[in-house]
Amino acid sequence: MTLAAGTDAVRQSLASFRQEREADWKAFEALLARVERRAPRALSEDELLSLPLLYRSALSSLSVARATSLDSALIAYLEALCLRGYFYLYGARRSLRTRIGDFFLHDWPAAIRDLWREVWGSVALTVIGAIAGYWLVASDKRWYDAIIAPSLAGGRNPDSSAEVLRSVLYGGGDHFLSGFAAYLFTHNTQVSILAFALGFAFAVPSVLIILMNGCMLGAIFQIYAAKGLGFELGGWLSIHGTTELFAIAIAGAAGMRIGTSIAFPGELTRMAAAARAGRVAATAMIGVTVMLLFAGLLEGIGRQTITSDVVRYSIGGGMLALWLCYFYLFRMVRHGDR
């Protein structure tokens, strides 16, 4: 008799508990279902304001249900409902458009600023490599064949005449121009990927790749400068080169960040240090693909149609100034940041 009376009391308590609060649970569940299927604008202002109140009511009900050991099915229902409410009210809900906007306005520039030491170190390595390549070819022209691949040389070498070299710079319809431009873009894309991907080996391959790329640039520049065409070659390369070379420098910087983090992890484990560096480096590399796309457009269109040295330098200098301002001067404050 006593056991039956106790069971009846529990059932009455459970029924009373449900009767008092179930309306709020159902209302909260219905509102969540609407906003999950559509958007917050599907709710009225009063309904939006009621969401946090209903969420707190559900949490209170869950707390009571757990404390009094009520029906396990009811506890599971309230846990699921509260979890849905938490993710909606406090979770990050960003559309694809918002994520893309955040990447270009915040994440990518912030990653480049974080890598500023490695980026300018990579730029310095490119300059050092270019000077070395120029000096080697100037001192002994046999170095040219050792530095420049035949597919990149395209038959042009230190013995080529000024007229032949000039035809490459201003012969918009020359078949070699299109092939050489395509090869340069492919080559620089490969250099960017390798400089990043091989950085895990304590950054040594990244440094060597950037140096070698600079040597190739210096070697090519030397044979044109020797024929009095250095200024003209600079304009021809600058249309896309300022963007492309900057992208390669960033890729090398991303590889160096990972490599140096592994070599010198500090208080972290090597794996944790690599993971932290990888987040910044990966963001930078996504941006590198965007820069290479821009460089390809400039290379495929501008260099084929623009033959004025002044205009070429203007485009190249303008693109470099644009990237520098975007990365280091332009800053958007994310909502809630200080």
Q: Which two tokens stand for residue 182?
A: 């395509």
The DSSP annotation for 186-246 comes to HHHHHHHHHHHHGGGTTTHHHHHHHHHHHHHHHHHHHHHHTTT-HHHHHHHHHHHHHHHHH
Q: What is the pTM of this model?
A: 0.72
Q: Mean pLDDT throughout 18-44? A: 82
Flag whether pLDDT at 124 surpasses 80. Answer: yes
Q: What are phi and psi of 132, to 5 degrees?
A: -65, -45
Digit-coded pLDDT (tens) for 194-236: 999 898 888 999 999 999 999 999 999 999 999 999 999 999 8
Residue 38 confidence (pLDDT)? 72
Contact 140, 267 (CB under 8 A): no
Q: Mean pLDDT throughout 316-338? A: 78
Q: Which two tokens stand for residue 145?
A: 């064949």
- Sign of the CA dihedral 48, 53, 59, 61? negative
Flag whether pLDDT at 36 surpasses 90. Answer: no
Q: What band does 43 get if pLDDT is binned at 50, 70 and 90?
A: confident
Digit-coded pLDDT (tens) for 147-174: 987 766 666 788 888 888 888 788 654 4
